[in-house]
Structure 1
Amino acid sequence: MSNPQTMSKQKENKWSNYALRIIVNTASHPFEYAKVLIQIGYEPLPPRPAKTLFGKPALKLPNIFEYVKHIKTVDGFSGLYTGLAPKVCGNLLSSLAAQKCSDYFSEPQVEDPDFEDEESEEKRKEKWMSAMKCDILTHTAAIVVSQPFHVITIRMMAQFVGKETKYLGIFGSIKEIYHQNGVLGFFSGLVPRILGDLLSLILAGGLTYTINRYLVEEKELKVYTAATMNFISTAIMYPFQVVSNCMAVSNSGLEIGSPPMMPHYTSWVDCWMDLSRHHQLKRGSSLLVRYYTGPHITVAGKLLPVTRDQTLYPSDK
């Protein structure tokens, strides 16, 4: 049987982890807010002429700090925390669901980076597969239960574009989403969000297992393998995050989620194809050095962006 003192310490650790998560979410929220606006395609500040590291002329967009400053200028300091409440609720619900699933499936202990020699290769693979299955089920449950709060968060942030007030508060947003899209509206963008997370999880887990098993021998280096592979796999699957957030906004009744700013996508695949055609699947992935890739003209040796009114589309002819 479990020691009561041990169980008490585990509960304290859980609550301290939740408290730490809330603190981190609060501190990073203004930057996450700006990143979401970039991901859904909103650029309030015009690009300015600049040069690349190789000296070629380019158009540079404001970095994340300038973007946050712009939000503060428009909505004040409190405006930087728009969407924080549903975000915290969603993260806490996600953590609780993940913990319950992990306890239910009795997540096995994965072998340490040494990959003990006394264990057979078959046994190691079996343990890795069991841990991976548990992680997949845990991540899926956590995302599904938190998705309604994620949609509320994204739509509350997206109101910055058109200065709307459709989504105010958690309960008011729930009513508006149901009125606008029905029950399915609470799960807008769910499929690409799950796919991106699970593919990243599987890729990182597979690479970590392979590298630690066959390529790296030093114990000191194996400690960093998982973190490195997680970073790489997250970067590779980043477009799924962009598509998910765009789907959460599309057809939401907001200016940013309606033509001409954004089409009413019929599915996440439709959204992916549209963003891919315009080379926008990676927008927001770089937050410090950002270059404008849209239509532009050259005047007196300088690049200048072409505004929406100046751009001619075949469908307009």
Structure 2
Amino acid sequence: MEANGHEHVIEVTDLRRVYGGGFEAVGGISFSVRRGEIFALLGTNGAGKTSTVELLEGLAAPTGGRVRVLSHDPHTERAAVRPRTGVMLQEGGFPSELTVTETTRMWAGCVSGARSPQEALALVGLTGKARVRVKQLSGGERRRLDLALAVLGDPEVLFLDEPTTGLDAEGRRSTWELVRALRDGGTTVLLTTHYLEEAETLADRLAILHQGRIAATGTPAEVTATQPSRITFELPESHSPGDLPPLDALGACGRETDGRVVRLRTRELQRAATALLMWAERTGVELRGLDVRSASLEEAFLGIARDASAADPAREYAA
């Protein structure tokens, strides 16, 4: 328990996972997740996300370090952890001949305090598919069935591995609403996703894994703040990029040009925007297509991955 009263329901300390042949997939990472929080694990393919989540779910023992879920070791004390957690894997592997209701009812028989199949299917928008055989579901519908089974036991901790893969835009938004509702009801959610918009929208905090190590962690705003903001505009034919004030006068840390289109990079967005507009006012220049924005999570993600690779170019990608 933290001093401020926020309980850590997931605690990871110096976690390592080494596969046969000495290949280190997870290289000594540490993070924690508070009760009632959505925490996202991000990373490029092979960054170590799945290897980490499997250790949190208790599917394997770590090579080194310590994992605690709800104050228990999820591998050696699985019986104390599993009834209180829900897991949505990347692939469910359902019996294809069973109907959606039969599949949900079968799974409910393995879960303590399960919701009714009707309630679980309603949560994920599958009521209309209750009598349909699993083999007749679309890929997106199977993902929704995966999610229904993961929340069947009203878990305290929910692990979601790429939860919206294969869903259309409407299905993705509906899933986001459900995940938020679960969080608001006290469920702690740890998710992996390749959709950076999803992480930026849902996550209270996140960690970016790169080559088996944590390259950045914090709220989405804190992580994006590590990268420069940008100001983009087009100069009229009467002016060229060389007419602009020096970078230090604009509060900019970099400049790119493509003909008359200019992109400034800055860590002082308000100062740079103000200086640029004052210059334009003084000189009577119209800045066409002016676009001022902070870095996106995607830009931060790519920048962090690039910086991490440059700092440790000899390390191979984790599996």
TM-score tier (shorter): under 0.3
Q: Please identify the structure whose Cα radius of gyration is greater.
A: 2
TM-score calculated relative to the size of structure 2? 0.26
Q: Which has the higher strand share?
A: 2
